[in-house]
Amino acid sequence: MSVVGQAASRQQRTGEWLRARMQTRGFLWSVLGVLLLGVLVLAAFQGVSAQRLISLTAWGLMLGGIIGLGSIGLTLVYGVVKFPNFSHGALVTLGAYLTLAVMAVLPQGPRLLPFSFGWELIAGLLIAMPVVGLVSVAVDKVVYRRLRTQGAHLVLFAMASLAMEFFLRSWIYLIWGSDFHFYYSGRDNPALDLILGIRVRADQLFIVALAIVLVAAVYLLLERTKIGKAMRATADNPELAQVRGINTERVIAWTWMVGGALAAAGGVMYGLSSQLRPEMGFWLLLPMFAAVIMGGIGNPWGALAAAMIIGIVHQVSGAFINPTYGPGVAFILMVITLLIRPQGLFGKGGG
């Protein structure tokens, strides 16, 4: 081989080595870390104090908890049934409104200090989670199961889920109207003073704690129970799971049940932190899908970690850019992930 040929070959190997290094999990973490650091530096240059930056980070964790609850259910469903469920946003909204309906028929008790809510919201949450799970199972039986038995294309599943998003939201409009609603209208929600001058509301701490508890419950379900192991086996290879005697339709029903229940919990927490409106779940779809892709499709822990990153960057960037551009933050992070490592932070393959 000539000298010119050897140089070209060496250059090609160097390029391949660089591409391989840039597609590793470590490189993606580094890029996201630099991006987060850059957002913090930009906020500091805009005159945002260190104390406020810490508080914004804490609020970002709360927002990440809400996105995480929705995205974990979304990634579980995708991992098993293998299609993007665009109706997940309507399930989030339905959970929030069902809780409101339960609270309307229960006597309003005293607030559970230091939180702003009372036991009636907890009761509404505990009722809404299984009900939304059953609605998810019913939608699967009526719509998606028929498509599965017919071997329909992925595009048809996606279009059907989008249709169910509008169908469910239309019922929410018909029952509760288009006006905003609050769980507690006019009730004060004072902030707590924590270490390092951090000021957060007790409700925000409750949201983060609930997200951690539910994720731990999902982990125990997947790792320690028979149905959880069946869900993992079905997600890895549904044909092989059937051959080994696993009832995949039962596994799919359980997956919808868990996914719907987590979506309802996310909706209730979102409604508690702001207000209820029929489009609330739809506007969460982009950050939820971004968290699923960033974390690695089918990986609940990855979805939660990515949701926390999105929440922090969203809140901190809101200190120096117009908050209406907030959803764009999730989109930018998702595009960066797809360009560097499409498998996501915790996806299989690559380094």
Q: What is the pTM of this model?
A: 0.86
Residue 3 is predicted with a pLDDT of 67
Which residues is 199 bridged to in the sheet? Answer: 193
212-227 pLDDT per residue, tens: 888 888 888 888 888 8
Residue 41 is predicted with a pLDDT of 84
Residue 124 is predicted with a pLDDT of 92
63-118 pLDDT per residue, tens: 888 888 888 888 888 888 888 888 999 999 999 999 999 998 988 878 877 888 88
Decide if 136 contacts 257 (C-beta within 8 A).
yes
**Over the chain, what is the mean pLDDT?**
84
Decide if 293 contacts 338 (C-beta within 8 A).
yes
CATH numbers and ranges of domains, the chain: 49-340 (1.10.3470)
